[in-house]
């Protein structure tokens, strides 16, 4: 990164630094996940006070000090505040899960930074505009696309072990303990570290993901594609479990917010 750097940024996380400063974890369109200090952001008169908040998106001015290896967030212009994500508990937990996922697993390879940024930016806006009951479908879309960016989205129509094409009406099994491919019932044994039933991809879920691959390039494309609520809960839990497995992490947002997200309040 140059000393002075302009990019688009979304605030993924903040944390206190002393009494008046805030640390921020940003997703940028040029450099993936960046840690930057927002000076004075926790003080009453701090210029960045309202901006250094989770979900806020804008044109960031960053200053990188190559000697100290530190980065400063100097400004966040033309901000999109996403208040609508804070005012609805279901949307809040979904968006919180997304930023936790991306902060935990940033690609950081330069190749996918812009695509990752566009994915989250579009999804946050789509979630803010969507009806609350579409939240899980949006979240499934984000996870599925994110798996694709990580190079971990399995092929949907073929057993990755024996190579046989899978009929549309049969379940496949996500071999997370193996190579991350989908396997047929004959090949599933021993592929997923014992928790086999947890990784079953039912036919409606597989059909839905195939539809996403075919028609959904942005969240607005999701509007006409529906997934029944119970199927959405199961597919969401499956993809989240898969991401936890491959990223070797536990999502705190899902531990605290599962009851809200899955409608079991
Ligand atoms: Zn097979």
Q: Which residues contact 93 (CB under 8 A, 6 or more apart)?
A: 253, 256, 257, 260, 261
Q: Which residues contact 202 (CB under 8 A, 6 or more apart)?
A: 171, 231, 234
Q: How far is the CA of 161 from the centre of ligand 1 (A)?
A: 5
* 3 CB burial (10 A radius; 0-12, 13-18, 19+): exposed
Q: Mapping DSSP to helix (H, G, I), strand (E, B) and coil, where does residue 43 land?
A: coil
Q: How far is the CA of 198 from the centre of ligand 1 (A)?
A: 18
Mean pLDDT across the stretch 209-227?
A: 91
Q: Which two tokens stand for residue 10?
A: 């979304």
Q: Which two tokens stand for residue 180?
A: 């991350």
Q: How far is the CA of 248 from the centre of ligand 1 (A)?
A: 26
CATH class of 87-261: mainly alpha
Q: How far is the CA of 42 from the centre of ligand 1 (A)?
A: 56
Q: How far is the CA of 249 from the centre of ligand 1 (A)?
A: 29
Identify the band that residue 263 occupies on the pLDDT scale cut at 50, 70 and 90: confident
* 44 CB burial (10 A radius; 0-12, 13-18, 19+): exposed
Domain with CATH 2.40.50.140 in the chain: 4-80
CATH class of 4-80: mainly beta
Domain with CATH 1.20.1440.120 in the chain: 87-261
Q: How far is the CA of 185 from the centre of ligand 1 (A)?
A: 7
Using CA atoms, how far residue 9 sits from 36, 57, 194, in Å, is 11, 6, 40
Q: How far is the CA of 153 from the centre of ligand 1 (A)?
A: 18
Q: How far is the CA of 214 from the centre of ligand 1 (A)?
A: 24
User: What are the tens digits of pLDDT across the range 150-207?
Assistant: 888 999 999 999 999 999 999 999 888 777 889 998 888 755 544 544 588 999 999 9
Residue 134's CB is within 10 A of a number of other CB atoms, namely: 20
User: What are the tens digits of pLDDT across the range 105-141?
Assistant: 766 567 888 999 999 999 999 999 999 999 999 999 9
Q: How far is the CA of 165 from the centre of ligand 1 (A)?
A: 9
User: What are the tens digits of pLDDT across the range 226-261?
Assistant: 999 999 999 999 999 989 988 889 999 999 999 999
How much is the pLDDT for 265?
53
Q: Any idea what the Cα angle at residue 181 is, between residues 175 and 185, rounded to 5°? A: 60
Identify the band that residue 40 occupies on the pLDDT scale cut at 50, 70 and 90: very high
């Amino acid at each position: 990164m140059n000393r002075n750097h302009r990019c688009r940024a979304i605030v993924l996380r903040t944390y206190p630094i002393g009494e008046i400063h805030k640390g921020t974890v940003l997703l940028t369109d040029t450099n993936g996940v960046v840690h930057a200090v927002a000076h004075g952001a926790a003080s009453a008169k701090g210029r960045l006070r309202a901006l250094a908040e989770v979900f806020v998106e804008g044109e960031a001015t960053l200053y990188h000090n190559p000697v100290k290896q530190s980065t400063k967030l100097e400004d966040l212009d033309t901000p999109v505040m996403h208040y609508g994500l804070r005012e609805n508990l279901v949307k809040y937990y979904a968006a919180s899960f997304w930023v936790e996922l991306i902060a935990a697993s940033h690609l950081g390879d330069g190749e996918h930074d812009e695509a990752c940024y566009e994915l989250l930016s579009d999804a946050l806006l789509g979630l803010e505009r969507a009806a609350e009951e579409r939240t899980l479908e949006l979240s499934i879309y984000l996870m599925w696309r994110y798996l694709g960016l990580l190079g971990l989205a399995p092929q949907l129509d073929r057993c990755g072990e024996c190579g046989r094409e899978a009929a549309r009406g049969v379940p496949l099994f996500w071999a997370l303990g193996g190579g991350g491919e989908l396997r047929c019932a004959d090949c599933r044994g021993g592929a997923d570290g014992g928790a086999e039933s947890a990784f079953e991809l039912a036919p409606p879920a597989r059909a839905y993901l195939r539809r996403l691959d075919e028609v959904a390039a942005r969240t607005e494309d999701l509007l006409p594609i529906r997934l029944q609520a119970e199927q959405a809960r199961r597919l969401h839990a499956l993809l989240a479990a898969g991401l936890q497995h491959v990223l070797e992490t536990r999502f705190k947002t899902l531990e605290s917010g599962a009851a809200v997200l899955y409608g079991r309040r």
